Chains A and B, each alone.
Chain A
Amino acid sequence: MSGRPRYAALVAFVVAAIAVLAIFPRVAQPYYVTLVLPAFAYAIALLGFNLLFGTTGLLSFGHALFVAIGAYAAAVMTSKLGIKSFELILVVAGAVAVIAAVPVALLAVRYVRIFFGILTLAFGMLFHSFLFKFYNLTGGDTGIRVLRPTLLGQDWKELDKTAFLIGPFYYACLVLAVVLGFAMWRIVRSPFGLHLAAIRENARKAEYLGVRVRLFRLIAFLISAFYGAIGGAILAVNTGQADPELAYWTHSGELVFMTVLGGFANFFGPLVGAFTFIFLKSELMGATQYWRFFLGATLAVIVIAFPRGLMGLAGDLWKKAVRR
Protein backbone atom coordinates (compact mmCIF):
# COMPACT_ATOMS: atom_id res chain seq x y z
CA MET A 1 0.00 0.00 0.00
CA SER A 2 1.52 3.34 -0.96
CA GLY A 3 1.63 6.32 1.35
CA ARG A 4 -1.10 8.50 -0.07
CA PRO A 5 -4.18 6.24 -0.07
CA ARG A 6 -3.18 5.09 3.40
CA TYR A 7 -3.00 8.70 4.52
CA ALA A 8 -6.42 9.36 2.98
CA ALA A 9 -7.84 6.33 4.79
CA LEU A 10 -6.38 7.65 8.04
CA VAL A 11 -7.90 11.08 7.54
CA ALA A 12 -11.26 9.49 6.72
CA PHE A 13 -11.04 7.37 9.85
CA VAL A 14 -10.18 10.33 12.08
CA VAL A 15 -12.95 12.45 10.60
CA ALA A 16 -15.41 9.60 11.16
CA ALA A 17 -14.27 9.23 14.78
CA ILE A 18 -14.72 12.97 15.38
CA ALA A 19 -18.16 12.84 13.78
CA VAL A 20 -19.19 9.94 16.01
CA LEU A 21 -17.97 11.82 19.07
CA ALA A 22 -19.84 14.92 17.91
CA ILE A 23 -23.21 13.19 17.65
CA PHE A 24 -22.60 10.94 20.68
CA PRO A 25 -24.29 13.28 23.23
CA ARG A 26 -27.40 13.39 21.04
CA VAL A 27 -27.86 9.63 20.92
CA ALA A 28 -26.30 8.16 24.07
CA GLN A 29 -27.50 8.18 27.68
CA PRO A 30 -26.14 11.10 29.72
CA TYR A 31 -24.20 8.71 31.96
CA TYR A 32 -22.11 7.48 29.06
CA VAL A 33 -21.62 11.02 27.81
CA THR A 34 -20.23 12.06 31.19
CA LEU A 35 -17.76 9.20 30.87
CA VAL A 36 -16.43 10.62 27.64
CA LEU A 37 -15.37 13.83 29.42
CA PRO A 38 -12.64 12.24 31.57
CA ALA A 39 -11.69 10.24 28.48
CA PHE A 40 -11.13 13.54 26.64
CA ALA A 41 -9.14 14.83 29.59
CA TYR A 42 -6.92 11.75 29.74
CA ALA A 43 -6.62 11.60 25.97
CA ILE A 44 -5.15 15.12 25.97
CA ALA A 45 -2.89 14.43 28.96
CA LEU A 46 -1.67 11.20 27.36
CA LEU A 47 -0.88 12.89 24.05
CA GLY A 48 1.65 14.88 26.04
CA PHE A 49 2.75 11.92 28.14
CA ASN A 50 3.38 9.85 25.05
CA LEU A 51 5.53 12.57 23.47
CA LEU A 52 7.89 11.75 26.32
CA PHE A 53 7.31 7.99 26.50
CA GLY A 54 6.48 6.82 22.99
CA THR A 55 8.42 9.39 21.01
CA THR A 56 11.37 10.33 23.22
CA GLY A 57 11.62 7.06 25.14
CA LEU A 58 11.43 8.53 28.65
CA LEU A 59 9.02 6.84 31.06
CA SER A 60 7.68 9.33 33.57
CA PHE A 61 6.13 7.79 36.64
CA GLY A 62 5.13 11.16 38.04
CA HIS A 63 3.19 12.69 35.23
CA ALA A 64 0.07 12.99 37.37
CA LEU A 65 1.92 15.95 38.88
CA PHE A 66 0.99 18.06 35.87
CA VAL A 67 -2.56 16.78 35.73
CA ALA A 68 -2.88 17.86 39.36
CA ILE A 69 -1.38 21.28 38.61
CA GLY A 70 -3.98 21.82 35.91
CA ALA A 71 -6.78 20.71 38.23
CA TYR A 72 -5.62 22.93 41.09
CA ALA A 73 -5.17 25.86 38.72
CA ALA A 74 -8.84 25.50 37.73
CA ALA A 75 -9.85 25.13 41.38
CA VAL A 76 -7.90 28.12 42.68
CA MET A 77 -9.00 30.36 39.83
CA THR A 78 -12.73 29.55 40.04
CA SER A 79 -13.09 29.13 43.82
CA LYS A 80 -10.57 31.55 45.26
CA LEU A 81 -9.91 34.21 42.63
CA GLY A 82 -13.35 34.31 41.04
CA ILE A 83 -11.96 33.96 37.52
CA LYS A 84 -14.44 31.87 35.57
CA SER A 85 -13.28 32.11 31.98
CA PHE A 86 -12.39 28.58 30.86
CA GLU A 87 -10.07 29.90 28.16
CA LEU A 88 -8.12 31.89 30.72
CA ILE A 89 -8.05 28.89 33.06
CA LEU A 90 -6.52 26.76 30.31
CA VAL A 91 -3.87 29.36 29.54
CA VAL A 92 -2.93 29.80 33.19
CA ALA A 93 -3.01 26.05 33.92
CA GLY A 94 -0.74 25.38 30.98
CA ALA A 95 1.61 28.22 31.85
CA VAL A 96 1.89 27.24 35.52
CA ALA A 97 2.57 23.63 34.55
CA VAL A 98 5.29 24.65 32.11
CA ILE A 99 6.91 26.91 34.69
CA ALA A 100 6.74 24.19 37.35
CA ALA A 101 8.09 21.69 34.85
CA VAL A 102 11.27 23.69 34.18
CA PRO A 103 13.16 22.77 37.39
CA VAL A 104 11.76 19.22 37.33
CA ALA A 105 12.80 18.76 33.73
CA LEU A 106 16.23 20.33 34.24
CA LEU A 107 16.96 17.67 36.83
CA ALA A 108 15.10 14.77 35.31
CA VAL A 109 16.54 14.93 31.77
CA ARG A 110 19.97 14.17 33.18
CA TYR A 111 18.64 10.66 33.67
CA VAL A 112 17.20 7.99 31.46
CA ARG A 113 15.38 4.71 31.91
CA ILE A 114 14.39 3.67 35.38
CA PHE A 115 16.16 6.58 37.06
CA PHE A 116 14.08 9.06 35.11
CA GLY A 117 10.96 7.21 36.22
CA ILE A 118 11.92 7.24 39.88
CA LEU A 119 12.95 10.89 39.87
CA THR A 120 9.69 12.00 38.28
CA LEU A 121 7.86 9.84 40.81
CA ALA A 122 9.74 11.70 43.54
CA PHE A 123 8.63 15.07 42.23
CA GLY A 124 5.05 13.89 41.92
CA MET A 125 5.03 12.73 45.52
CA LEU A 126 6.66 15.97 46.63
CA PHE A 127 3.73 17.88 45.17
CA HIS A 128 1.24 15.39 46.57
CA SER A 129 2.52 15.78 50.11
CA PHE A 130 2.46 19.57 49.69
CA LEU A 131 -1.19 19.40 48.59
CA PHE A 132 -2.03 16.92 51.31
CA LYS A 133 -0.35 18.58 54.27
CA PHE A 134 -0.64 22.32 53.69
CA TYR A 135 -4.27 22.45 54.57
CA ASN A 136 -4.64 26.23 54.66
CA LEU A 137 -3.37 26.70 51.14
CA THR A 138 -4.68 23.62 49.41
CA GLY A 139 -7.64 22.35 51.41
CA GLY A 140 -5.70 19.25 52.47
CA ASP A 141 -7.20 15.87 51.63
CA THR A 142 -10.58 17.28 50.62
CA GLY A 143 -8.99 19.61 48.12
CA ILE A 144 -10.66 22.63 46.55
CA ARG A 145 -13.98 22.86 44.75
CA VAL A 146 -14.02 23.76 41.10
CA LEU A 147 -16.89 26.05 40.12
CA ARG A 148 -18.52 26.03 36.74
CA PRO A 149 -16.45 28.05 34.29
CA THR A 150 -17.76 30.25 31.49
CA LEU A 151 -17.12 29.25 27.89
CA LEU A 152 -16.32 32.13 25.54
CA GLY A 153 -17.92 34.50 28.05
CA GLN A 154 -21.19 32.57 28.33
CA ASP A 155 -22.15 31.24 31.75
CA TRP A 156 -24.94 28.79 30.66
CA LYS A 157 -26.92 29.59 33.84
CA GLU A 158 -30.09 28.11 32.38
CA LEU A 159 -28.52 24.62 32.26
CA ASP A 160 -28.15 22.32 35.29
CA LYS A 161 -24.80 20.72 36.07
CA THR A 162 -25.13 17.63 33.92
CA ALA A 163 -26.71 19.52 31.03
CA PHE A 164 -23.79 21.95 31.08
CA LEU A 165 -21.21 19.16 31.16
CA ILE A 166 -22.70 17.01 28.42
CA GLY A 167 -23.71 20.05 26.37
CA PRO A 168 -21.45 23.06 25.84
CA PHE A 169 -18.57 21.73 27.93
CA TYR A 170 -18.52 18.46 26.02
CA TYR A 171 -18.11 20.30 22.74
CA ALA A 172 -15.48 22.60 24.17
CA CYS A 173 -13.50 19.52 25.19
CA LEU A 174 -14.01 17.88 21.81
CA VAL A 175 -12.68 20.98 20.06
CA LEU A 176 -9.73 21.12 22.47
CA ALA A 177 -8.94 17.45 21.92
CA VAL A 178 -9.06 17.84 18.16
CA VAL A 179 -6.95 21.01 18.12
CA LEU A 180 -4.37 19.69 20.58
CA GLY A 181 -4.38 16.31 18.87
CA PHE A 182 -3.67 17.93 15.51
CA ALA A 183 -0.94 20.08 17.07
CA MET A 184 0.68 16.98 18.55
CA TRP A 185 0.41 15.19 15.21
CA ARG A 186 2.35 18.05 13.66
CA ILE A 187 4.88 18.14 16.51
CA VAL A 188 5.64 14.43 16.23
CA ARG A 189 6.13 14.75 12.47
CA SER A 190 8.14 17.98 12.58
CA PRO A 191 11.95 17.98 12.47
CA PHE A 192 11.75 18.47 16.22
CA GLY A 193 9.68 15.28 16.60
CA LEU A 194 12.12 13.37 14.42
CA HIS A 195 14.97 14.56 16.60
CA LEU A 196 13.11 13.17 19.59
CA ALA A 197 12.64 9.82 17.88
CA ALA A 198 16.34 9.77 17.06
CA ILE A 199 17.08 10.37 20.74
CA ARG A 200 14.83 7.47 21.68
CA GLU A 201 16.46 5.11 19.23
CA ASN A 202 20.02 5.95 20.15
CA ALA A 203 20.78 8.98 22.28
CA ARG A 204 24.54 8.74 21.87
CA LYS A 205 24.40 8.46 18.10
CA ALA A 206 21.95 11.36 17.98
CA GLU A 207 24.36 13.42 20.06
CA TYR A 208 27.24 12.66 17.67
CA LEU A 209 25.02 13.85 14.84
CA GLY A 210 24.61 17.17 16.58
CA VAL A 211 21.26 16.70 18.29
CA ARG A 212 21.19 18.61 21.56
CA VAL A 213 19.82 15.67 23.49
CA ARG A 214 19.14 17.27 26.85
CA LEU A 215 17.64 20.42 25.38
CA PHE A 216 15.28 18.43 23.19
CA ARG A 217 14.30 16.16 26.07
CA LEU A 218 13.67 19.29 28.13
CA ILE A 219 11.39 20.83 25.51
CA ALA A 220 9.51 17.56 25.09
CA PHE A 221 9.05 17.47 28.85
CA LEU A 222 7.65 21.02 28.91
CA ILE A 223 5.21 20.29 26.09
CA SER A 224 4.04 17.15 27.85
CA ALA A 225 3.56 19.11 31.07
CA PHE A 226 1.40 21.61 29.18
CA TYR A 227 -0.81 18.85 27.78
CA GLY A 228 -1.04 17.24 31.20
CA ALA A 229 -2.29 20.46 32.77
CA ILE A 230 -4.95 21.00 30.09
CA GLY A 231 -6.18 17.47 30.73
CA GLY A 232 -6.15 18.13 34.46
CA ALA A 233 -8.21 21.31 34.10
CA ILE A 234 -10.88 19.45 32.11
CA LEU A 235 -10.87 16.60 34.62
CA ALA A 236 -11.34 19.03 37.52
CA VAL A 237 -14.23 20.90 35.90
CA ASN A 238 -15.88 17.54 35.20
CA THR A 239 -15.63 16.27 38.79
CA GLY A 240 -16.04 19.74 40.34
CA GLN A 241 -13.13 19.01 42.66
CA ALA A 242 -9.34 19.08 42.74
CA ASP A 243 -7.88 16.74 45.35
CA PRO A 244 -4.37 15.50 46.20
CA GLU A 245 -5.04 11.98 44.90
CA LEU A 246 -4.64 13.46 41.43
CA ALA A 247 -0.91 13.82 42.12
CA TYR A 248 -0.43 10.42 43.76
CA TRP A 249 1.98 8.00 42.13
CA THR A 250 -0.74 5.42 41.51
CA HIS A 251 -2.51 8.01 39.33
CA SER A 252 0.71 8.37 37.35
CA GLY A 253 0.71 4.60 37.07
CA GLU A 254 -2.79 4.74 35.62
CA LEU A 255 -1.56 7.17 32.96
CA VAL A 256 1.13 4.69 31.94
CA PHE A 257 -1.46 1.90 32.07
CA MET A 258 -3.78 3.73 29.65
CA THR A 259 -0.95 4.48 27.25
CA VAL A 260 0.26 0.89 27.13
CA LEU A 261 -3.32 -0.39 26.94
CA GLY A 262 -3.87 1.60 23.76
CA GLY A 263 -0.35 1.10 22.47
CA PHE A 264 2.44 3.62 22.96
CA ALA A 265 4.06 2.97 19.61
CA ASN A 266 1.04 4.31 17.75
CA PHE A 267 0.03 7.98 17.68
CA PHE A 268 -3.62 7.10 18.36
CA GLY A 269 -2.80 4.43 20.93
CA PRO A 270 -3.01 6.73 23.97
CA LEU A 271 -6.35 8.09 22.77
CA VAL A 272 -7.77 4.59 22.34
CA GLY A 273 -6.24 3.66 25.69
CA ALA A 274 -7.86 6.59 27.49
CA PHE A 275 -11.33 5.80 26.18
CA THR A 276 -11.00 2.05 26.75
CA PHE A 277 -9.63 2.52 30.26
CA ILE A 278 -12.41 4.90 31.36
CA PHE A 279 -15.18 2.66 30.06
CA LEU A 280 -13.53 -0.53 31.31
CA LYS A 281 -13.02 0.95 34.77
CA SER A 282 -16.58 2.22 34.96
CA GLU A 283 -18.02 -1.14 33.87
CA LEU A 284 -15.81 -3.05 36.32
CA MET A 285 -16.69 -0.69 39.17
CA GLY A 286 -20.36 -1.28 38.43
CA ALA A 287 -19.91 -5.04 38.33
CA THR A 288 -17.73 -5.79 41.34
CA GLN A 289 -16.14 -4.17 44.36
CA TYR A 290 -12.94 -5.97 43.40
CA TRP A 291 -12.53 -3.97 40.21
CA ARG A 292 -8.89 -3.18 40.96
CA PHE A 293 -8.04 -6.85 40.74
CA PHE A 294 -9.55 -7.18 37.29
CA LEU A 295 -8.00 -3.91 36.15
CA GLY A 296 -4.63 -5.17 37.34
CA ALA A 297 -5.19 -8.53 35.65
CA THR A 298 -6.04 -6.72 32.41
CA LEU A 299 -2.82 -4.75 32.65
CA ALA A 300 -0.84 -7.93 33.32
CA VAL A 301 -2.34 -9.63 30.27
CA ILE A 302 -1.62 -6.58 28.09
CA VAL A 303 1.96 -6.33 29.30
CA ILE A 304 2.68 -10.04 28.92
CA ALA A 305 0.75 -10.93 25.78
CA PHE A 306 0.04 -7.69 23.87
CA PRO A 307 2.89 -5.29 24.59
CA ARG A 308 1.93 -3.14 21.60
CA GLY A 309 -1.53 -2.61 23.04
CA LEU A 310 -4.90 -2.47 21.34
CA MET A 311 -3.60 -0.51 18.36
CA GLY A 312 -0.83 -3.05 17.85
CA LEU A 313 -3.41 -5.81 18.01
CA ALA A 314 -5.68 -3.98 15.57
CA GLY A 315 -2.74 -3.45 13.23
CA ASP A 316 -1.90 -7.16 13.25
CA LEU A 317 -5.51 -8.14 12.57
CA TRP A 318 -5.71 -5.57 9.76
CA LYS A 319 -2.56 -6.91 8.13
CA LYS A 320 -3.89 -10.45 8.32
CA ALA A 321 -7.17 -9.40 6.74
CA VAL A 322 -5.44 -7.49 3.93
CA ARG A 323 -3.10 -10.38 3.14
CA ARG A 324 -6.07 -12.67 2.70
Chain B
Amino acid sequence: MSHPCGRARRVLWTDDGPRVLTDELEGARAHVTSCEACRGFLREVRSMRALLREGVPRPPAPRAVREGVLQAVALERAERADPSSAPVRAGIGGRRARGRWWRRSGVIAAVVVLAVSVAYAFVQWAGSPTTMNGVATYVEDHLRSLHGGSIRSSDPEAVRRWLSRRVAFAVTVPRLPAARLEGGRLCFLEGREGVVVHYRLEGKLVSYYVMPGGTETGGPGADDFRSEANRGYHVVVWHRAGLTYALVADLPRARLSELAHVCADAIVAVRTADPVARASRPIVGTSRASVTP
Protein backbone atom coordinates (compact mmCIF):
# COMPACT_ATOMS: atom_id res chain seq x y z
CA MET B 1 0.00 0.00 0.00
CA SER B 2 1.42 3.38 -0.96
CA HIS B 3 0.82 6.99 -0.21
CA PRO B 4 -0.89 7.53 -3.56
CA CYS B 5 -3.60 5.34 -2.09
CA GLY B 6 -3.67 7.43 1.08
CA ARG B 7 -3.82 10.65 -0.92
CA ALA B 8 -6.64 9.38 -3.09
CA ARG B 9 -8.56 8.14 -0.08
CA ARG B 10 -8.10 11.39 1.81
CA VAL B 11 -9.53 13.30 -1.14
CA LEU B 12 -12.39 10.94 -1.83
CA TRP B 13 -13.54 9.69 1.53
CA THR B 14 -14.78 13.01 2.84
CA ASP B 15 -18.02 13.72 1.07
CA ASP B 16 -20.36 12.25 -1.43
CA GLY B 17 -22.24 14.57 -3.71
CA PRO B 18 -21.20 17.17 -6.22
CA ARG B 19 -17.77 18.74 -5.84
CA VAL B 20 -15.66 21.21 -7.68
CA LEU B 21 -13.39 19.29 -10.04
CA THR B 22 -9.77 19.97 -9.19
CA ASP B 23 -6.58 18.38 -10.39
CA GLU B 24 -6.29 16.62 -7.06
CA LEU B 25 -9.80 15.22 -7.32
CA GLU B 26 -9.28 14.16 -10.90
CA GLY B 27 -6.02 12.45 -9.98
CA ALA B 28 -7.63 10.65 -7.06
CA ARG B 29 -10.46 9.36 -9.22
CA ALA B 30 -8.03 8.20 -11.84
CA HIS B 31 -6.06 6.34 -9.19
CA VAL B 32 -9.13 4.61 -7.84
CA THR B 33 -10.16 3.27 -11.24
CA SER B 34 -6.94 1.31 -11.33
CA CYS B 35 -6.68 0.38 -7.64
CA GLU B 36 -8.87 -2.42 -6.35
CA ALA B 37 -7.88 -1.78 -2.72
CA CYS B 38 -9.00 1.84 -2.89
CA ARG B 39 -12.28 0.87 -4.54
CA GLY B 40 -12.82 -1.57 -1.71
CA PHE B 41 -11.95 1.10 0.83
CA LEU B 42 -14.48 3.54 -0.61
CA ARG B 43 -17.11 0.81 -0.80
CA GLU B 44 -16.56 0.11 2.84
CA VAL B 45 -16.75 3.77 3.81
CA ARG B 46 -20.02 4.21 1.93
CA SER B 47 -21.32 1.00 3.40
CA MET B 48 -20.55 2.16 6.91
CA ARG B 49 -22.15 5.53 6.30
CA ALA B 50 -25.26 3.88 4.93
CA LEU B 51 -25.38 1.57 7.91
CA LEU B 52 -25.10 4.43 10.33
CA ARG B 53 -27.61 6.56 8.50
CA GLU B 54 -30.18 3.82 8.16
CA GLY B 55 -29.31 1.39 10.91
CA VAL B 56 -29.03 3.60 13.98
CA PRO B 57 -32.40 3.77 15.72
CA ARG B 58 -33.80 7.28 15.77
CA PRO B 59 -36.83 7.12 18.02
CA PRO B 60 -39.12 10.16 18.05
CA ALA B 61 -38.95 12.32 21.15
CA PRO B 62 -41.44 11.01 23.73
CA ARG B 63 -44.23 13.36 24.66
CA ALA B 64 -42.81 13.87 28.13
CA VAL B 65 -39.51 14.98 26.65
CA ARG B 66 -41.22 17.38 24.24
CA GLU B 67 -43.23 18.88 27.06
CA GLY B 68 -40.16 19.10 29.27
CA VAL B 69 -38.18 20.97 26.64
CA LEU B 70 -41.02 23.40 25.96
CA GLN B 71 -41.45 23.95 29.68
CA ALA B 72 -37.74 24.63 30.10
CA VAL B 73 -38.00 27.25 27.36
CA ALA B 74 -41.10 28.72 28.99
CA LEU B 75 -39.27 28.90 32.29
CA GLU B 76 -36.39 30.68 30.63
CA ARG B 77 -38.80 33.23 29.19
CA ALA B 78 -40.51 33.65 32.52
CA GLU B 79 -37.15 34.29 34.16
CA ARG B 80 -36.34 36.90 31.58
CA ALA B 81 -39.73 38.53 32.02
CA ASP B 82 -39.54 38.43 35.81
CA PRO B 83 -35.94 38.41 36.97
CA SER B 84 -37.06 38.74 40.59
CA SER B 85 -37.99 35.08 40.62
CA ALA B 86 -34.58 33.97 39.40
CA PRO B 87 -32.82 33.93 42.78
CA VAL B 88 -35.39 31.53 44.12
CA ARG B 89 -34.76 29.14 41.27
CA ALA B 90 -31.03 29.56 41.41
CA GLY B 91 -31.12 28.81 45.08
CA ILE B 92 -32.38 25.34 44.54
CA GLY B 93 -29.86 24.14 42.07
CA GLY B 94 -30.25 26.16 38.91
CA ARG B 95 -30.52 24.45 35.56
CA ARG B 96 -29.77 20.91 36.66
CA ALA B 97 -32.50 21.04 39.24
CA ARG B 98 -34.81 22.29 36.57
CA GLY B 99 -33.89 19.31 34.48
CA ARG B 100 -34.89 17.01 37.26
CA TRP B 101 -38.06 18.99 37.82
CA TRP B 102 -39.23 18.97 34.27
CA ARG B 103 -38.18 15.41 33.74
CA ARG B 104 -41.43 14.66 35.46
CA SER B 105 -43.29 16.74 32.96
CA GLY B 106 -45.01 13.64 31.60
CA VAL B 107 -46.69 13.31 34.94
CA ILE B 108 -47.47 17.00 34.90
CA ALA B 109 -48.95 16.70 31.44
CA ALA B 110 -51.09 13.84 32.73
CA VAL B 111 -52.16 16.00 35.63
CA VAL B 112 -53.10 18.76 33.23
CA VAL B 113 -55.36 16.33 31.44
CA LEU B 114 -56.77 15.30 34.79
CA ALA B 115 -57.28 18.92 35.68
CA VAL B 116 -59.57 19.17 32.69
CA SER B 117 -61.48 16.23 34.09
CA VAL B 118 -61.61 17.90 37.49
CA ALA B 119 -63.01 21.05 35.97
CA TYR B 120 -65.55 19.02 34.04
CA ALA B 121 -66.53 17.08 37.16
CA PHE B 122 -66.93 20.32 39.03
CA VAL B 123 -69.19 21.79 36.37
CA GLN B 124 -71.32 18.67 36.43
CA TRP B 125 -71.40 18.65 40.19
CA ALA B 126 -72.33 22.29 40.54
CA GLY B 127 -75.19 21.75 38.16
CA SER B 128 -74.11 24.58 35.92
CA PRO B 129 -74.55 24.44 32.19
CA THR B 130 -71.21 23.43 30.72
CA THR B 131 -69.61 25.03 27.77
CA MET B 132 -66.34 23.21 28.21
CA ASN B 133 -64.49 22.25 25.13
CA GLY B 134 -61.92 19.70 26.36
CA VAL B 135 -59.46 20.32 23.57
CA ALA B 136 -59.63 24.09 23.91
CA THR B 137 -59.20 23.82 27.66
CA TYR B 138 -56.15 21.66 27.25
CA VAL B 139 -54.62 24.08 24.78
CA GLU B 140 -55.44 26.99 27.06
CA ASP B 141 -53.60 25.40 29.94
CA HIS B 142 -50.72 24.42 27.71
CA LEU B 143 -50.40 28.02 26.55
CA ARG B 144 -50.57 29.20 30.11
CA SER B 145 -47.76 26.84 30.94
CA LEU B 146 -45.71 28.19 28.08
CA HIS B 147 -46.21 31.83 28.86
CA GLY B 148 -47.21 31.93 32.45
CA GLY B 149 -44.08 30.44 33.90
CA SER B 150 -43.64 28.57 37.09
CA ILE B 151 -41.56 28.48 40.21
CA ARG B 152 -39.61 25.66 41.73
CA SER B 153 -39.03 25.97 45.40
CA SER B 154 -39.50 24.03 48.59
CA ASP B 155 -40.20 27.25 50.47
CA PRO B 156 -43.99 27.66 50.87
CA GLU B 157 -43.68 31.39 51.42
CA ALA B 158 -41.63 31.87 48.24
CA VAL B 159 -44.15 29.85 46.24
CA ARG B 160 -47.08 31.70 47.79
CA ARG B 161 -45.54 35.10 47.05
CA TRP B 162 -44.74 34.16 43.48
CA LEU B 163 -48.21 32.82 42.77
CA SER B 164 -50.05 35.57 44.62
CA ARG B 165 -48.39 38.22 42.50
CA ARG B 166 -49.91 36.66 39.41
CA VAL B 167 -53.51 35.98 40.28
CA ALA B 168 -56.32 38.11 41.63
CA PHE B 169 -57.01 36.03 44.74
CA ALA B 170 -55.07 35.19 47.86
CA VAL B 171 -53.09 31.97 47.60
CA THR B 172 -52.34 29.69 50.50
CA VAL B 173 -49.62 27.06 50.18
CA PRO B 174 -50.31 24.50 52.88
CA ARG B 175 -47.64 22.31 54.41
CA LEU B 176 -48.68 18.73 53.75
CA PRO B 177 -47.35 16.19 56.24
CA ALA B 178 -44.54 14.03 54.86
CA ALA B 179 -44.81 15.74 51.47
CA ARG B 180 -42.05 17.77 49.87
CA LEU B 181 -43.09 21.01 48.21
CA GLU B 182 -41.67 21.20 44.70
CA GLY B 183 -43.12 24.42 43.32
CA GLY B 184 -46.10 25.85 41.56
CA ARG B 185 -47.34 27.38 38.36
CA LEU B 186 -50.26 29.18 36.85
CA CYS B 187 -52.97 27.16 35.18
CA PHE B 188 -55.76 28.16 32.86
CA LEU B 189 -58.95 26.12 32.98
CA GLU B 190 -62.36 26.96 31.61
CA GLY B 191 -61.19 30.45 30.74
CA ARG B 192 -60.18 31.10 34.33
CA GLU B 193 -56.72 31.66 35.64
CA GLY B 194 -55.76 29.70 38.71
CA VAL B 195 -52.75 28.17 40.34
CA VAL B 196 -51.47 24.69 40.90
CA VAL B 197 -48.96 23.75 43.58
CA HIS B 198 -46.93 20.56 43.28
CA TYR B 199 -45.77 18.31 46.07
CA ARG B 200 -43.94 15.02 46.11
CA LEU B 201 -45.26 12.43 48.51
CA GLU B 202 -44.03 8.85 48.63
CA GLY B 203 -42.48 9.44 45.25
CA LYS B 204 -45.77 10.52 43.74
CA LEU B 205 -46.77 13.89 42.40
CA VAL B 206 -49.57 15.63 44.29
CA SER B 207 -51.20 18.60 42.56
CA TYR B 208 -53.14 21.15 44.56
CA TYR B 209 -55.34 23.37 42.40
CA VAL B 210 -56.90 26.66 43.44
CA MET B 211 -59.34 28.16 40.95
CA PRO B 212 -61.54 31.22 41.25
CA GLY B 213 -65.28 30.64 41.23
CA GLY B 214 -67.39 27.81 42.49
CA THR B 215 -70.58 27.68 44.45
CA GLU B 216 -70.50 27.20 48.18
CA THR B 217 -72.49 24.08 48.77
CA GLY B 218 -73.57 22.73 52.05
CA GLY B 219 -73.32 24.29 55.43
CA PRO B 220 -71.54 23.08 58.49
CA GLY B 221 -71.72 19.33 58.71
CA ALA B 222 -72.69 18.87 55.13
CA ASP B 223 -70.73 16.79 52.67
CA ASP B 224 -68.68 19.51 51.04
CA PHE B 225 -65.74 17.40 49.91
CA ARG B 226 -66.29 15.42 46.78
CA SER B 227 -64.02 12.57 45.81
CA GLU B 228 -63.82 10.86 42.48
CA ALA B 229 -61.49 8.56 40.62
CA ASN B 230 -60.37 9.07 37.07
CA ARG B 231 -57.85 7.02 35.08
CA GLY B 232 -56.31 5.64 38.20
CA TYR B 233 -55.99 9.00 39.92
CA HIS B 234 -58.07 10.22 42.80
CA VAL B 235 -59.39 13.73 42.91
CA VAL B 236 -60.90 15.59 45.86
CA VAL B 237 -62.71 18.84 45.10
CA TRP B 238 -64.12 21.34 47.56
CA HIS B 239 -65.14 24.98 47.71
CA ARG B 240 -64.40 27.78 50.09
CA ALA B 241 -65.24 31.45 49.93
CA GLY B 242 -65.62 31.76 46.22
CA LEU B 243 -62.69 29.51 45.37
CA THR B 244 -62.59 25.94 44.12
CA TYR B 245 -59.87 23.65 45.39
CA ALA B 246 -58.83 20.29 44.00
CA LEU B 247 -56.23 17.77 45.01
CA VAL B 248 -55.09 15.23 42.43
CA ALA B 249 -52.72 12.33 42.98
CA ASP B 250 -52.15 8.66 42.46
CA LEU B 251 -52.77 8.03 46.14
CA PRO B 252 -55.45 6.05 47.99
CA ARG B 253 -58.70 7.92 48.31
CA ALA B 254 -58.60 8.05 52.12
CA ARG B 255 -55.05 9.42 52.06
CA LEU B 256 -55.93 12.12 49.58
CA SER B 257 -59.01 13.00 51.60
CA GLU B 258 -56.83 13.49 54.70
CA LEU B 259 -54.58 15.79 52.72
CA ALA B 260 -57.56 17.74 51.45
CA HIS B 261 -58.65 18.31 55.03
CA VAL B 262 -55.15 19.49 55.92
CA CYS B 263 -55.33 21.95 53.06
CA ALA B 264 -58.76 23.17 54.11
CA ASP B 265 -57.60 23.61 57.70
CA ALA B 266 -54.55 25.54 56.57
CA ILE B 267 -56.72 27.90 54.55
CA VAL B 268 -58.98 28.51 57.53
CA ALA B 269 -55.98 29.06 59.80
CA VAL B 270 -54.45 31.61 57.45
CA ARG B 271 -57.69 33.50 57.07
CA THR B 272 -58.32 33.45 60.79
CA ALA B 273 -54.86 34.86 61.41
CA ASP B 274 -55.20 37.45 58.68
CA PRO B 275 -58.04 39.87 59.48
CA VAL B 276 -57.74 41.54 56.10
CA ALA B 277 -58.20 38.31 54.25
CA ARG B 278 -60.99 37.33 56.60
CA ALA B 279 -62.78 40.63 56.08
CA SER B 280 -62.46 40.54 52.33
CA ARG B 281 -63.27 36.88 51.89
CA PRO B 282 -65.26 35.52 54.79
CA ILE B 283 -65.15 31.79 55.16
CA VAL B 284 -68.47 30.11 54.92
CA GLY B 285 -69.13 26.49 55.68
CA THR B 286 -65.74 25.48 57.00
CA SER B 287 -66.81 22.20 58.42
CA ARG B 288 -65.06 19.04 57.38
CA ALA B 289 -67.43 16.46 56.15
CA SER B 290 -66.89 12.91 55.14
CA VAL B 291 -65.83 12.16 51.65
CA THR B 292 -68.49 11.16 49.26
CA PRO B 293 -67.75 7.63 48.24
B is bound to A: no
